[in-house]
Amino acid sequence: MIDQKILDMKEEIIKSVQDSVKIRSVEEEPKDGMPFGKGVHNSLIHCLNLSESLGFKAVNVDNMIGYAEYGQGDEMVAILGHLDVVPEGEGWTYPPYAAEIHNGKIYGRGTTDDKGPTIGALYALKAIKDLNIPLKRRVRVFFGLNEETGSNCVKYYVEKGEEMPVCGFTPDAEYPIINGEKGIVTCKYTRKLNQSGDMILKSVKGGIAANVVPDFAEAEIIVAGNNKEIKKLSDKTEDIKIEEKENSIIIKCHGVSAHGSTPEKGKNAISYLMKFLERLNFTGDFKEFLDYYNEYIGTDLNGESLGIYLEDDISGKLIFNLGTVLGNENELSFEINIRYPVKKTFEDFNDTFKEKMELGKFKEVYLRHKKSLYVSPDTEFIKKLQKVYEEQFGEKAELISIGGGTYAKAMKNIVAFGPIMKGQPMVEHKPDEYIEIDSLMKNVQVMAAAIKELAN
């Protein structure tokens, strides 16, 4: 009955997802009443208006976060979605904010991460409301606005003393059920340069965010003399291209984008660019930097070169991703994303990490830390989600730990549940992000079943 009701709303669900994806909700500079910028704010207002049109109570919490609420009862179940997205980057086949449909897929930034599932949760709740399915607990579908860059939206909600859920989930990872999430450190460092010699770095840039494997990086080099040797080297190096200007050369490196939690699925263009630059005839300060970079960072994905490698039997190895670089003749800056195992702590590696960064003459600009998460398999709502998964997919609901980070870290009694199904590719944070329409509809059905189970 509930599954058919959801299928009957298919075209409405698709259109609502498209409308949301068409709003470019990358965090920008704050404006009056818009703490995360205009695009993110517009996305919130869109979802609040949609919630009211679907018959829900819609609440805007100081423009920091919003939610739709339905039902009666003293206790509340939460579904935490987010509307902010990472920058689109380059390399798209279809426009990143057009929400075009091709071959049964909606393409666009945020389709999977996390607008599609968030809008889907609204319609899962609408199906329950329209069918008058009894619930003992109220249900809130949250519209987070800062998940990609710190989860300050949920932190604000919690610190303000708003009502906490007795249980819930965030549809922002994968199935079956994620009861463990690695701790996450996101940081930025700068290094001054005092260059000299016949070869000078004029500029360097690459990457779109700390938690994305960069698929492109380029450096402009001022060279005194002939460029033939550099061109010979580039001809022998895959993914390196040279462009000559009047007084300089531009060296471009192409890599493969991936989520920062799975860097092994990508190819870090910044690291491969630095590896190539080390072969050139730099001297002095920048040569010192290149030697440091390739010895202690390079293409290492697990922090071994920095001496910060950690591992446990639940969530595996520490993950290291250098996501962005930006620099000129006088200064370089990097953004780094580190994900450490659930049984380990920040203190297990932080001192060593800071010592190594000081060794490279780097100065910390900021460092944000989210502790690891682990919810016992014996928890009642975990067992309820396992029941839902097994009924919906006809297979055992294994509990898994991931390197990715979700809102489960920011609010108690929450775990990640969906939307990516077994065997589906990870397309979030990549060019041509999409959600299959069939998968979207199945997710709405699963979320409706989960809401029904958790709210009773």
Which residues carry out catalysis?
A: 84, 147
| Burial class (CB within 10 angstroms; exposed 0-12, middle 13-18, buried 19+) of 255 | buried
Provide the 8-state DSSP code for 93: S
**Cα dihedral across residues 202, 208, 316, 358: positive or negative:** positive
SS (H, E, C) 226-265: CCHHHHHHHHCCCCEEEEECCCEEEEEEECECEECCCHHH
Q: Other C-beta atoms within 10 Å of 199: how many?
A: 21
Place of tokens 């919810």: 375
Helices (H) and strands (E) in the chain, counts: 11, 26
Could you tell me if 121 and 111 are in contact, meaning their C-beta atoms sit under 8 angstroms apart?
no
Would you list the DSSP string of 5-53? HHHHTHHHHHHHHHHHHTS--B----BTTBTT-HHHHHHHHHHHHHHHH
Query: How far from chain centre, in Å, is Cα 388?
Result: 26
Looking at residue 208, its amino acid is I
Query: How far from each other are the two terminal CA atoms of the chain, in whole angstroms?
Result: 18
Sequence-separated (6 or more) residues with CB below 8 Å from residue 213: 255, 256, 257, 258, 259, 260, 263, 265, 266, 267, 268, 321, 323
Which candidate, 312, 354, 310, places its Cα nearest to that of 336?
354
